[in-house]
Chains A and B, each alone.
Chain A
Amino acid sequence: MTRFLCKRLIMMMVTMLCASFLVFAVCEFSPGSVARKSLGPFATQQQVDLLSKKLRATDPLPVRYSRWLGVLLGLIPDPLQAPDSGLNFNDPRGAQYFGNFGYSTLNKLPVNDVIWNRLKNTAVLAGLAFALIVPLSIIFGILSGLKEGGALDRFLSVICITFTSIPEFASGVFLVTLFVILWPLLPGTSQLDPGSGWSIPSQLVLPVAVLVIYDFGYVARMIRVSMIGVMERPFIRTAVLKGMNTRQVIFGHALRNAMIAPFTVLLLQINFLVSGVVVTELVFAYPGFGRLLLDASLFGDIATLEAATLVTVAIAVTTQLVGDLGYMLLDPRIRVK
């Protein structure tokens, strides 16, 4: 077991390293330079070149990547924070510490001052959505998988397929039109501002609804397929022919088996929710992590982009690991000896 965990942890590290390097590599293709975007269209080329040099953006890719990695791991002080760099970047935590994500050129703040707050906001949104998606999709999936092709299955299936076909921006438009414009029950923006006249919970209703609508149908379909497969397995027949009633068969024999395969799918939704919220956040002007990521990549703010990507990838590999562990817990056949 320890061996397995160690192996997985090393794999996670390698994945994160590769991912962060990929981000650097992709940013190489970036058309406009960061300096140009910081200074605006009216700055002279000379000014732009000077800033580029100050930001050390002209160094070759491997140099910049290893410098970023060194700063992150606390091995070297961030050169951009040095007083003589002329950038006036100032991190109250100091220039050299473990977990130093550098300085955000977009927000003119240390990255660590930006992302965690945003991540917390997104976690609230994603957590609420996840807490609704899990029970909803399980109930829908189990009910429709119980009798494949039955009236209930067809009804629930149509609902699920239709809902998964609605992108978040479309359901955002529909819901705002209905509940904000035609029937003003809820706020159209959710800036988490207590002074806006709407309570925080009421600001969360629509964003959460948008996420749930788009996502739960997909998970429910996965659980349905698994449930159908389980209901056809011979051990269900054994249970029925033991004299058990439907409720006993479902809770005693079907449910746990039916959850084995979709368990990982369910956990993967956490990844989706952390990064996929960007659209929802944009629709409702929600100050979240997804928008930070979007803005950073549009601006070419590589420090923020790297930090945000690393966080999402870290969440992804962690959920993968948790998924595998849960998988083993659910299915004794694949437990490691």
Chain B
Amino acid sequence: MNMEVRNAQRPASQLDLSNGIPCTAQEPLLQIHDLRIEFRGKDETVVAVPGLSLDVMRGESYGLVGESGCGKSTTAMAILGYLGRTGAVTNGSIRFDGEELVGASPRQLRKVRGRRIAMVYQDPMSALNPVRTIGAQLAEVPRIHLGTGRAQALEMARAMLRDVRLPDAGDMLKRYPHQLSGGQQQRVVIAMALLARPSLLLLDEPTTGLDVTVEAAVLDLIAELRHRYQTSLLFISHNLGLIAESCDRLGIMYSGELVEEGATGEIFRRPRHPYTQGLIACIPDVDSDKHSRSLAAIPGHIPLPQERPQGCLFGPRCDGFVAGSCDRVDLKPDEVEPGHQVKCARWRDFSRREEAAVVVPDGDRDAGDAICLTNVTKLYGTSRGRSLKANEAVTFSVKEAEIVALVGESGCGKSTLARIVTGLDQATSGQIRLADRNIAELQARARPKKLLQSVQMIFQNPDSTLNPSHSAAFSIRRSLIKFGIRKGKAAVDRRVRELLEMVRLNPDLAERKPEQLSGGQKQRIAIARAFAADPSLIVADEPVSALDVSVQAAVVTLLLDIQRANKTTMLFISHDLALVRHVADKVVVMYLGKVMEQGTVAEIFGGAAHPYTQALLSSIRSTDPDRSKAAHIQLRGEMPSPVDVPRGCRFATRCHRKLGICEQEAPPLRRLSSSHEILCHIDPTAGQTVSDGATRSADITREPAND
């Protein structure tokens, strides 16, 4: 615990890995040359990776970036010789520390796996055996590889758990994975990987699925341990922002190929490949909002392995495509300068892409309230008379045609609130006023049709938003018929086509089954379905969080366009603060069921006053390597259970600016401007840290308490 806090206060330069010069000589530890990986199915052979070459130097942190399906995880699995029964390396070589791993015997591979190359996985919960204790699973590593006895192996495991900062390491050894939080589980997986002191660590999306504040802590831990154990990293991620701070060099992968490779700073400052440029451009940045910059989306989608084009694989999605030069079969990587390679025939012709100038004009500030929530509380009864507080006294309002973003980590109650507003759930108490009616306790089936029609929802998961048994347009059509938007088959069909065109989908996709559509396409259908009812309010629950970044940008831009055109009010729920800045007019920050801070986008992102908002903002990873790096505020511990809400301020258990009073008394609501409110004992305007003006010097501690 202490270490964690100290780490946050360490000089930034020590953590700054992206611009630093790699600490060792340029000696390759891992050399992948011309690697070809194929998967043999019943009907066809899929080439997942056609020809990949890359080197990871000793002591280096190499980032492999690409969108889903580009072959980055497959490459990691190939390094460890684990491609399943259908997969095989059919060409090329993987040399690790001078030893060839392609075609290595099982015995040889076992000596490498876990001993010299270890791996950290995407989903720590499923990577751990649910029926065995943490201790047993950790102790296995030294027992297999170092021949250590049981007691000594457990002792090593305990020491390693302390190194990954798990509290109470001895007790932790006896626990089962499900008794740990996601962040703790990932620390256990990291500990497991490092136990045999491997020289290369493969990190496969190690923080995807973790909350932002936990993600920041895990990344800092990896950075620190990497230096302590002198381990090289192969860091695989779809998230450029994450990679920017953690890696010395980057390789950008597209459809199984490396399209660009170079030092991290160089790639971000002067990206040469149009795909890299597109990837950077489509990432929302905390420094700009929808009024200053629109997200540039990359059109189209990644080709399936079976339909890779000839020559440049990015060709079909590139505006700079020139027949004759881009579709040449013998396209080779070109050196921009030493250490920076790009596989593009025309990189000299491209400068950094101009950002699209279309930005969203400021909205009407004088509009009336479209929906107004007052003291909305939701309790779920659990056994033995205790209740789970999903929402407590949530109060905020949304103006007409405004977008209000609800942000917070998982478990903060934002999705429950969305379900209450739409009528999928009902509030325990409080008021939600919509069109002069209190809808807080009205479930969907109790709502009149007119009301149902006026509030529609866009859901999170593209794979479950459409019924796999029906055609893509089925639910749009039902919506039009049920609400009587159009009468008669011809009119309904015409409207379906219009709606599909509105979400920029080919109307011919209407009769496809959802399994034949990509995630982005399914989410567009979901948007079309929500707008089919002509609603006045749309609740969008993480509508793009499951999509690839390039697709995400396109869908967000589309959603904003339609919202503006229809003057729809929108409640936008997200955990991605950078995205929120690009979408919202107003932001409501929630923690453990309660609103901690709310204000306009400018107020929140320009001068967040609540310690929790500050912590959230500081955990955003920037893609701009020149942006000054403030040390991350690391939150201690885990979010408390919503059944046992701490008395006093509910954030006090994790707050880095906690006062003595915070654990005793509920904080007051402070109004900082007509639109900006916080729920905190610390008064940001007073320039002091005492609540209610009553100075209790004994209670004031600026340093975080070391518990």
Which residues of A are in contact with B by a Cβ distance under 8 Å? Answer: 147, 233-235, 237-245, 248, 252-253, 256-257, 260, 330-333
Contact partner, B140, options A147, A242, A330, Cβ 8 Å: A242
Contact (Cβ within 8 A) B129 A257: yes
Give the 3 A-B CB pairs with smallest separation, nearest first: A243-B114, A242-B114, A243-B113
| CB neighbors of A among B99-152 (8 A) | 106, 110-115, 118-119, 121, 123, 126-132, 140-141, 144-145
Assuming the contacts A243-B145, A257-B131, A330-B131, asked whether A233 and B126 have C-beta atoms less than 8 A apart, the reply is yes
A233 to B121, CA, bound (A): 13
Contact (Cβ within 8 A) B85 A241: no
Contact (Cβ within 8 A) B141 A235: no
Across the interface, name the chain A residue whose C-beta is closest to B109: A243
Could you list some 26 contacts between A and B, CB below 8 A?
Answer: A147-B85, A234-B123, A235-B130, A237-B82, A237-B127, A238-B119, A238-B189, A239-B140, A240-B82, A241-B80, A241-B114, A242-B113, A242-B140, A242-B141, A242-B144, A243-B114, A243-B144, A244-B114, A245-B110, A248-B144, A253-B132, A256-B131, A256-B132, A257-B130, A330-B131, A332-B131
Assuming the contacts A147-B85, A238-B121, asked whether A244 and B110 have C-beta atoms less than 8 A apart, the reply is yes
Q: Which residues of B contact A333 (CB under 8 A)?
A: 130-131, 176, 178
Q: Which residues of A contact B144 (CB under 8 A)?
A: 242-244, 248
Contact partner, A235, options B85, B114, B118, B127, Cβ 8 Å: B127
Q: Which residues of A contact B112 (CB under 8 A)?
A: 243
Q: Which residues of A contact B82 (CB under 8 A)?
A: 237, 240-241
Interface-central residue, A242, A257, A333, by most chain B CB under 10 Å: A242
Contact (Cβ within 8 A) B128 A238: yes
A204 to B445, CA, bound (A): 63
Secondary structure type dominating chain A contacts: helix
| CB neighbors of A among B70-120 (8 A) | 80, 82, 85, 106, 110-115, 118-119
Does B203 sit within 8 A of A, measured CB to CB?
A: no
Contact (Cβ within 8 A) A332 B129: no
A244 to B132, CA, bound (A): 16
Q: Which residues of B contact A234 (CB under 8 A)?
A: 121, 123, 126-127
Q: Which residues of A contact B119 (CB under 8 A)?
A: 238, 241
Across the interface, name the chain A residue whose C-beta is closest to B80: A241
Secondary structure type dominating chain B contacts: mixed
Does B192 sit within 8 A of A, measured CB to CB?
A: yes
Across the interface, name the chain A residue whose C-beta is closest to B175: A332
A253 to B136, CA, bound (A): 11
A256 to B130, CA, bound (A): 10
Q: Which residues of A contact B141 (CB under 8 A)?
A: 242-243
Which residues of B are in contact with A by a Cβ distance under 8 Å? Answer: 80, 82, 85, 106, 110-115, 118-119, 121, 123, 126-132, 140-141, 144-145, 176, 178, 189, 192
Contact (Cβ within 8 A) B140 A331: no
Q: Which residues of A contact B176 (CB under 8 A)?
A: 332-333
Q: Which residues of B contact A332 (CB under 8 A)?
A: 130-131, 176, 178
Q: Which residues of A contact B118 (CB under 8 A)?
A: 241
Contact (Cβ within 8 A) B115 A243: yes
Across the interface, name the chain B residue whose C-beta is closest to A256: B131
Q: Which residues of A contact B111 (CB under 8 A)?
A: 243
Known A244-B110, A333-B131; 5 more pairs at CB < 8 Å: A239-B129, A245-B106, A253-B129, A257-B129, A331-B130
Across the interface, name the chain B residue whose C-beta is closest to A238: B127
Contact (Cβ within 8 A) A235 B110: no
Q: Which residues of B contact A260 (CB under 8 A)?
A: 131
* B385 vs chain A, min Cβ distance (A): 15
* A293 vs chain B, min Cβ distance (A): 39
A261 to B367, CA, bound (A): 58
Interface-central residue, A239, A241, A252, A257, by most chain B CB under 10 Å: A241
Contact (Cβ within 8 A) B145 A235: no
* A154 vs chain B, min Cβ distance (A): 14
Interface-central residue, A239, A243, A332, by most chain B CB under 10 Å: A243
Q: Which residues of B contact A235 (CB under 8 A)?
A: 126-130
A253 to B132, CA, bound (A): 8
A241 to B119, CA, bound (A): 8
A260 to B132, CA, bound (A): 13
Q: Which residues of B contact A253 (CB under 8 A)?
A: 129, 132
Q: Which residues of B contact A233 (CB under 8 A)?
A: 126
A259 to B691, CA, bound (A): 58
A330 to B192, CA, bound (A): 24
A326 to B119, CA, bound (A): 34
Q: Which residues of B contact A245 (CB under 8 A)?
A: 106, 110
Across the interface, name the chain A residue whose C-beta is closest to B42: A149
A256 to B136, CA, bound (A): 14
Across the interface, name the chain A residue whose C-beta is closest to B141: A242
Q: Which residues of B contact A243 (CB under 8 A)?
A: 110-115, 141, 144-145
Q: Which residues of A contact B127 (CB under 8 A)?
A: 234-235, 237-238
A251 to B74, CA, bound (A): 27
Q: Which residues of A contact B189 (CB under 8 A)?
A: 238
A245 to B121, CA, bound (A): 20
Q: Which residues of A contact B128 (CB under 8 A)?
A: 235, 238
Contact (Cβ within 8 A) A241 B131: no
* A328 vs chain B, min Cβ distance (A): 11
Q: Which residues of B contact A256 (CB under 8 A)?
A: 131-132
A336 to B331, CA, bound (A): 62
* B647 vs chain A, min Cβ distance (A): 23
A233 to B123, CA, bound (A): 11
Across the interface, name the chain A residue whose C-beta is closest to B140: A242
A244 to B129, CA, bound (A): 14
Contact (Cβ within 8 A) A331 B131: yes
Q: Which residues of A contact B192 (CB under 8 A)?
A: 238, 242
Interface-central residue, A233, A245, A248, A332, by most chain B CB under 10 Å: A332
* A86 vs chain B, min Cβ distance (A): 58
* B449 vs chain A, min Cβ distance (A): 43
* A252 vs chain B, min Cβ distance (A): 7
Contact (Cβ within 8 A) A240 B130: no
* A247 vs chain B, min Cβ distance (A): 12
A238 to B110, CA, bound (A): 12
A244 to B82, CA, bound (A): 13
Contact partner, B113, options A147, A241, A257, A330, Cβ 8 Å: A241
